Amino acid sequence: MMSVRYGAKRVIASSMVFSVLCALAACGGGSANSQAGSVSVACSQQEDFCQTMTAAFQKETGIKTTYVRLGAGEVLARLETASGEFDVWAGGQAENHLLADDKGWVEKYVSPNASDLPDEYNDDNGIWSGFYTDSIAFCSAASELEKKGLEAPTSWEDLLDPALKGSVAMPHPATAGVGYMAMYALAALNNGDEDAAISYFKQLNANVMQYSKSAATGTEQAGRGEVAVAIALDSDCQKAIAAGYSDLKTTYPKEGTGYEVGAISVLKDAKNADNAKKFMDWILTADAQNLYADVPSYAAPTNPKATVGADVPRQDIVKKVAWDTRKAADGREAFIAAFESDVASADSAQ
């Protein structure tokens, strides 16, 4: 049986934090809440982002708002077995929401606030709208690179340097959307040749210390000096820097990199469909996206009227690959299967 190295699950003591947020947000079970009803969110963002945004929505609307933080792959797995568990899915790459729609799990809905967003942040068929965006970067530990006599990587080829053996972290594409984004980006750089992308990751495998379950795990490992470089979102790297890992540095591959449109969609068979639509309407507004700086999430808002935080990585200066959301969605299952059989299985054989 194939063996994949996953990062250890980190148990986050969030219940106390959320209780405090609820108290501040006056989200008790009073009559206003009872009249307003409730909404359940599958949240594919960082824990503190999920906490802050759901608490803010509850405070503003009186709608009792609960969430479960899950990676995009985990949400798709839950939707497969538990229809009606969630009312709305907030976060994760837009292509994952297309996959959910392919399975009949999305209730198409065009929010009246979607028109405030640039076209690239809305699906033409009303499957999803985007409420944040960020890009894949290299999150490097400067001191660890210095020990190896290396500079911060500025190309995908730099990660193949033998000096980085066992010193690269990457999220597993089956559980974290960022891992699949990296795979699709390499295919896009090779004119859509998926075999070329798999060949690259087979070469990279010797340098990978761990395929983590979560996208943000690698930035923490780099911050602690456990790896020299993590393939990560630039927003996650910036968040780690702000958390005190001052040794970290963000760079981008000069050939081009992948990026995500963090999407939201209303789910089919939602028990609270009207409130799910209200949550979607709200999170597309500039007022809601202005809260990103208070989390802080370090992802860029999609509403052009929203305030961009001072430390949010600038997306307009990043060289990005041509991204076809539909193709990325259609190729995901086969691409991940190839990764597990040709890359991860090779790891277990070492």
Model confidence pLDDT, tens digit, residues 16-73: 333 333 433 333 333 334 468 999 999 998 899 999 999 999 999 999 999 999 988 8
* Per-residue b or e along 179-192, where b marks 16 or more CB atoms closer than 10 Å to that residue's CB: bbbbbbbbbbbeee
Contact indicator for 44, 178 with CB cutoff of 8 Å: no
Contact indicator for 78, 43 with CB cutoff of 8 Å: no
Count CA atoms within 13 Å of residue 200 on its CB side.
19
Domain ranges (residues) in the chain: 15-133+260-301, 135-258+319-349
Pairing between β-strand 129-141 and β-strand 300-301 as defined by DSSP bridges: antiparallel
Instruction: Measure the CA angle with vertex 127, ends 125 and 133; round to 5°.
Output: 110
Torsion of CA 338, 251, 11, 205, to 10 degrees: 30
Q: What percent of the chain has pLDDT over 90?
A: 75
| Nearest by Cα to 313 from 252, 244, 227 | 252
- Residue 175 tokens read as 């559980």
Give the tens place of pLDDT for each residue, 155-182: 999 999 999 999 999 999 887 778 999 9
pTM above threshold 0.85: no
Establish whether domains 15-133+260-301 and 135-258+319-349 are of one fold. yes
| 86 pLDDT more than 60 | yes
- List, as own/partner pairs, every contact residues 277-280 make where C-beta atoms lie below 8 angstroms and the sequence separation is at least 24, other chains included: 277/109, 277/111, 278/39, 278/61, 278/63, 279/39, 279/41, 279/57, 279/63, 279/65, 279/87, 279/88, 279/90, 280/88, 280/90, 280/109, 280/111, 280/129
135-258+319-349 adopts what CATH topology?
A: D-Maltodextrin-Binding Protein; domain 2 (3.40.190)
Q: What are the distances in angstroms from CA 65 to CA 34, 84, 110, 199?
A: 12, 15, 21, 45
| 207 pLDDT more than 50 | yes
Round to whole Å and give the CA distance between 87 and 44. Answer: 14
**Confidence class of residue 15 from pLDDT cuts 50, 70 and 90?**
very low
Superfamily holding 15-133+260-301: Periplasmic binding protein-like II (3.40.190.10)
